[in-house]
Structure 1
Amino acid sequence: MERLNEEDIQRKLTDNPNWKLTDKKWIERKYRFQEYLNGIEFVQRVARLSESMNHHPFISIDYKLISIKITSWRAKGLTDLDFTLAQKYDELYLQMKR
């Protein structure tokens, strides 16, 4: 997996406006839920998806607020896979909000 350059990262961030670049090697997003257990269910879905793709994020649970950070350790930065997962996490979130 090849690391993205700064220009590619900025372009992908415009396609994923809810995600923010942190420390030049992570993308991060916070998801808010009405109920605590809905957030926990979201984390479980994210975990299953991540396991199936063998690419695992950092997840933080703060009551009804779930934070996710992604990077690619082997590439020492962001790759296409990170942004693919970000989109998939967003899709999971939208499914749960319906």
Structure 2
Amino acid sequence: MKLERLTQDEIKKKLEENKNWKLTDEKWIIRKYRFRDYLQGIEFVNQVAKASEEANHHPFISIDYKLISVKISSWNARGLTDLDFELARKYDEFYEQIKYHF
């Protein structure tokens, strides 16, 4: 699948639809997720890792006790693509499921 880099206007529109995600360095989106406990965050990371592996598109993940940061971009496109935002929505869905499951 060829990934096309989004224009700044397209990125702005997608960020309006994904309000919890922030643009950084003009080619990354980042979100921080807070959990009630450490293992809840680890469960989230495992789900993110599985979805990312299935898509063959891997984010940077930082685990800081109960705070998980996810940062994503498309290396081959040298910026953001639809796939980045598609995965961001999946990660948000995982967060909502885990947040209310525990």
TM-score, scaled relative to structure 1: 0.99
Structure 2 equivalent of residue 57 of structure 1 = 59
Q: CA deviation at 1:97?
A: 1.3
Dislocated runs of 4+, deviation >4 Å: none
Q: Aligned AA for 2:25?
A: D
Question: Structure 2: where are the runs of 5+ without partners?
Answer: none
Superposed CA RMSD: 0.4
After TM superposition, give the deviation of residue 95 of structure 1 in Å. Answer: 0.5
Measure, in 1, the Cα distance between the counterparts of 2:19 and 2:61: 19
Q: Please give the alpha-carbon distance, in whole angstroms, between the structure 2 residues aligned to 1:6 and 1:12.
A: 10
Normalization by structure 2: what TM-score?
0.95
Number of residues paired by the alignment?
98
User: Percent identity of the aligned residues?
Assistant: 68
Matches of 1:20 and 1:54, distance apart in 2? 22
Provide the rounded CA distance (Å) in 1 between the counterparts of 2:56 and 2:48.
12
Structure 2 counterpart of 1:94: 96
Matched, 1:71 2:73: yes
Q: Give structure 1 stretches of 5+ with no counterpart.
A: none
